[in-house]
Amino acid sequence: MLITFEGLPGAGKSTQSRMLARCLKASGQPVTVLSDLATLDTDPVAASLVELLRTSGDPFLRSGDAITDTMITAAIRADLVATVLDPALAEDPATVVIEDRGIHTMASYAIAALLRQHRAPADVALDWLNALTALAGPRPTRALWLRVPPEVAARRADQRGGDRRHAFTGEQRAHLTWVDHGYALLAARDPQLTVLDVTDLDPVDTHQAIHATLRQISQTGDIDLSPCAGHHETAEPVSYAESRPSAPSRNRESETMTTLASHRENTAPIDLLSALRTARAAGADALAATLDEHGLHALDGGRNNDVFAWTTAPTPICIKLYKKTDRQRVEREWHGLTHAAGLGSAPEPLWLDEHPEQPALGMTLLPGSPILDVLDPASAIKSLANTTRVLQSIPLKEPLASLERVDSIGHYIARLTDVWPGQLADAADDPQTPDMLALLHRWENSGDPELLAQPATPVYSRGDANLLNWLHDGETTYVADFEFSGFSDIAVDAADHIEHISARVIPDDVWTSAEAELGITPGNRARFDAARRTIALRWLAVLWKQRTKRV
């Protein structure tokens, strides 16, 4: 039997490997523990391969190219199996082998690098890694992902390293976020990988939770999982270097906006925000003077809210001062930015000031220019599609998992069935009304509303397909404006990108060639086509309503 402990640095994998081994040995179970890089000091092949990766000095053993690093790591794993794992199991088939960082850890770091460096679609990366890991050794009988948030893992690893190594850089911390995302993708696909949130647990509580989890997922007779009696002590003192809350453990995914804001290390500039609110109420001249006084300037966009660049701050940031807070805009944006945090393609959320009437949100400034000013249409849309799919591939968490995106497909259908008919009836003498009614009746009888009412797998959605929100700096694509965030589905969001009024500048053949990158498959093609027709008709209704205002 092979049991693996997976997780980010500082999650407690090594500690829990030792504790479980002591417990099993006390019950008479033969046990072998494989530490991380177990063959480094005993096998020249492994030592040589690891040395290839260590030349970069990167704490994650990244030498430069994701595919090359993954192949070397797979070779190290195969050597471990041949020299240690297989002999241990062959000597005594009853042996329980406990591995600190198993095949899922190898795969999660590889997924992170592939998604970041090669912009590979998640499904493609997962399929390739599944084939590769199948050749790198046996899959575990039981795999436990000891999950802690990436920022907690980085802090623990920094504290544990002390003066022996430098603290993680910003890029390395961002990489941990991608690795956590890689674990989540694996957990969603692989039933052998069991997730155990240990954020608020000390080593003893974690050990007990592991016992409870193994009892739940193990078949009768797999291993002796009788409760430990006096074997909770670790093989050496362990400290997570942070105090545990005395309150009972919370469901972290259902935390409120306030609690999430309090977890950020940055503090809102209260005096500056007060000055901005006062100046905005006093008028344009007062606001302009306040911006000049504090080293801010207004950014383009922000039709519903005021958006400023604060370039004289210690680290230049973007401040959004909300005018409209309906439809949970502030909460949606905060959680949407948190969802995308660490990906390198969206602003990083810094702080949230929950003023009762004029809340404000601080985030990092994005570089770049409007994407269509930098790239040709085909390259721009392909890059947009890849970034969209990365955002969609991150598992939904509360509250976004329960919040349908603003302007959802259900909202579009309701406007077409409940609102537009009355508007057309009020304009019966308009020469365009008969044509509009014919199109509406054709849609009503098409079956599209019924097809779109069927459930679809939910994914994260920004809820805003406006191309003006997409930027490019010559290397990377970025996206802003997350206040319509919630859940949607791949087919509907792809249709929304194509049929949004801002997309009219993109030739149809460019959109058609990007359908696969946007996630359209034979399985969701009918839903995609129905959504395109529905969203196009909704935009026609909007334009018809504004027919006397637009030139």
**Is the residue at 249 inside a domain?**
no
Whole-number pLDDT of residue 224: 60
**Is the residue at 240 inside a domain?**
no
pLDDT at 145 > cutoff 90: yes
Query: Does one domain contain both 99 and 179?
Result: yes
Whole-number pLDDT of residue 301: 67
pLDDT tens figures, 224-282: 655 454 444 433 332 222 322 333 332 333 333 433 443 345 789 999 999 999 999 99
Whole-number pLDDT of residue 335: 96
Query: Does one domain contain both 304 and 440?
Result: no
Residue ending a domain, choose from 200, 231, 262? 231
Q: How far apart are CA 311 and CA 291, in angstroms?
A: 11
Res. 223 pLDDT band, cuts 50 70 90: low
Query: Does one domain contain both 358 and 376?
Result: no
Torsion (CA) 241, 244, 250, 255 in degrees, nearest 10: -60
Query: Does one domain contain both 24 and 8?
Result: yes
**Is the residue at 244 inside a domain?**
no
**Is the residue at 258 inside a domain?**
no
- Contacts of residue 3, Cβ cutoff 8 Å, sequence gap at least 6: 20, 96, 97, 98, 99, 140, 141, 142, 143, 144, 214
Query: Does one domain contain both 276 and 299?
Result: yes
pLDDT at 33 > cutoff 90: no
pLDDT tens figures, 274-293: 999 999 999 999 999 999 99
Query: Does one domain contain both 341 and 305?
Result: yes
Tell me the average pLDDT across 508-524. 95
Cβ distance 62 to 179 under 8 Å? no
Q: Residue 75: which of 18, 161, 135, 138 has the closest Cα?
A: 135
pLDDT tens figures, 63-102: 777 888 888 888 888 888 888 778 877 888 888 889 888 8
Q: How far apart are CA 129 and CA 123, in angstroms?
A: 10
Six-digit token string for 483: 């206040």
Whole-number pLDDT of residue 550: 58
Query: Does one domain contain both 407 and 358?
Result: no
Tell me the average pLDDT across 107-124. 78
State percent of the chain over pLDDT 70. Answer: 86
Tell me the average pLDDT across 303-310. 89
Query: Does one domain contain both 158 and 302?
Result: no
Residue ending a domain, choose from 313, 332, 364? 364
Whole-number pLDDT of residue 410: 93
Q: Which of 187-196, 283-292, 343-352 has the lowest mean pLDDT?
A: 187-196
Tell me the average pLDDT across 311-322. 90
Whole-number pLDDT of residue 43: 61
Query: Does one domain contain both 406 and 352?
Result: no
Domain containing residue 415: CATH number: 3.90.1200.10
- Of 54 and 41, the one with more pLDDT: 54
Res. 548 pLDDT band, cuts 50 70 90: confident
Q: Residue 541: which of 358, 412, 445 has the closest Cα?
A: 412
Burial of 518 from C-beta contacts in 10 A (0-12 / 13-18 / 19+) = buried
Q: Following DSSP, what letter does each residue of 118-171 receive, concatenated?
A: S---HHHHHHHHHHHHHHSSPPPSEEEEEE--HHHHHHHHHHHHGGGSPPPPHH
Res. 126 pLDDT band, cuts 50 70 90: confident
Kindly give the residue spans of alpha helices, DSSP state H, lying in 394-432.
Answer: 409-414, 420-426
Tell me the average pLDDT across 442-459. 95
- Of 83 and 53, the one with more pLDDT: 83
Res. 222 pLDDT band, cuts 50 70 90: low
Cβ distance 333 to 437 under 8 Å? no
Query: Does one domain contain both 115 and 220?
Result: yes
**Is the residue at 399 inside a domain?**
yes
Whole-number pLDDT of residue 56: 67
Whole-number pLDDT of residue 105: 86
**Is the residue at 251 inside a domain?**
no
**Is the residue at 309 inside a domain?**
yes
Domain containing residue 302: CATH number: 3.30.200.20
Whole-number pLDDT of residue 218: 57
Q: Residue 16: which of 173, 180, 228, 218 has the closest Cα?
A: 228
- Of 360 and 124, the one with more pLDDT: 360
pLDDT at 130 > cutoff 70: yes
Whole-number pLDDT of residue 259: 38
For the question of whether the overall pTM of this predicted structure is more than 0.85, the answer is no
Tell me the average pLDDT across 49-62. 74
Res. 7 pLDDT band, cuts 50 70 90: very high
Question: What are the distances in angstroms from CA 3 to CA 78, 79, 323?
Answer: 17, 18, 54
Q: Residue 495: which of 530, 455, 445 has the closest Cα?
A: 530
Residue ending a domain, choose from 364, 399, 416? 364
Q: What is the DSSP letter of 106?
A: H
Cβ distance 141 to 219 under 8 Å? no
Tell me the average pLDDT across 354-383. 91
Question: What are the distances in angstroms from CA 33 to CA 90, 95, 218, 240?
Answer: 15, 10, 19, 22
- Contacts of residue 469, Cβ cutoff 8 Å, sequence gap at least 6: 301, 462, 479, 480, 481
- Of 65 and 388, the one with more pLDDT: 388
Give the count of beta carbons closer than 10 Å to the beta carbon of residue 474.
9
Question: What are the distances in angstroms from CA 470 to CA 339, 367, 507?
Answer: 18, 11, 18
- Containing H/E element for 383? helix 377-393
Whole-number pLDDT of residue 526: 97
Q: How many structural domains compose the chain?
A: 3
Query: Does one domain contain both 396 and 435?
Result: yes
As a whole number, the mean pLDDT across the chain is: 83
Measured in whole angstroms, how far is the alpha carbon of residue 440 from the centre of its chain?
A: 38
Domain containing residue 116: CATH number: 3.40.50.300
Kindly give the residue spans of alpha helices, DSSP state H, lying in 142-300.
Answer: 150-161, 170-189, 203-217, 257-262, 270-282, 284-294
**Is the residue at 11 inside a domain?**
yes
Query: Does one domain contain both 345 and 459?
Result: no
Q: Residue 457: which of 426, 487, 483 has the closest Cα?
A: 487
Q: How far apart are CA 374 and CA 473, in angstroms?
A: 8
Tell me the average pLDDT across 337-351. 93
Give the 3-state secondary structure of residue 263.
Answer: coil
pLDDT at 137 > cutoff 50: yes
Domain extent at residue 309: 270-364
